[in-house]
Amino acid sequence: MLPDGRVVTGSTYDRRVLVWDPAQPGTGPVEIGRPELAVGAVTVLPDGRVVTGHSGFDGGRVLVWDPAEPGTGPAELGRHEGVVQAVAVLPDGRVVTGGLDGVRLRNMQDGSPGTLLACAAYALASSLSPSGARLYIGHAAGGISSWEVRAATQT
């Protein structure tokens, strides 16, 4: 959800990134972009920018969009080998991205991929504990991996 209460969605079907305003039912969404790759995951940064994970024939991409400037196109934050199905924002502003090749903690200040965390299998979903202290990754092996966010150590 954006800081102003609007909701962001992404589609694997028509590959659009949309912003919906629940305060205006019956109005259509605003398209902020239509990437070349299917949208597998969406999250919102504290400053209102949107991070999306994508899959394609040449690997997965992580893109950053600015809803205040629809249609301007995204900046690429990074890549994965294969699809990107999980994205989340940690309390310290790092972005978590997960795909076939593991889970990355990306630094938004310099765009560096940061730490690559081993995951038991292909990462499908991400979530933070209510306190923001733990990161959980659901994976294709049917389990959940858990990390303490501050130290980025798995338990």
Place of tokens 């972009």: 33
| 3 state DSSP class of 34 | coil
Angle at CA 29, nearest 5°, toward 95 and 83?
A: 35
pLDDT tens by residue, the chain, 155 residues: 899 999 999 988 888 899 999 999 889 899 998 888 888 899 999 899 999 998 866 678 889 999 988 778 898 888 877 788 889 888 888 888 887 777 888 877 776 666 667 666 777 888 888 888 888 888 887 888 888 877 554 44
Question: Integer distance in angstroms from the first to the last C-alpha of the chain?
Answer: 29
At residue 133, the pLDDT reads 87
Structural domains of the chain in order of their starting residue, each with its CATH number: 7-154 (2.130.10.10)
Stated pTM of the model: 0.85
Place of tokens 């949309």: 18
At residue 121, the pLDDT reads 72
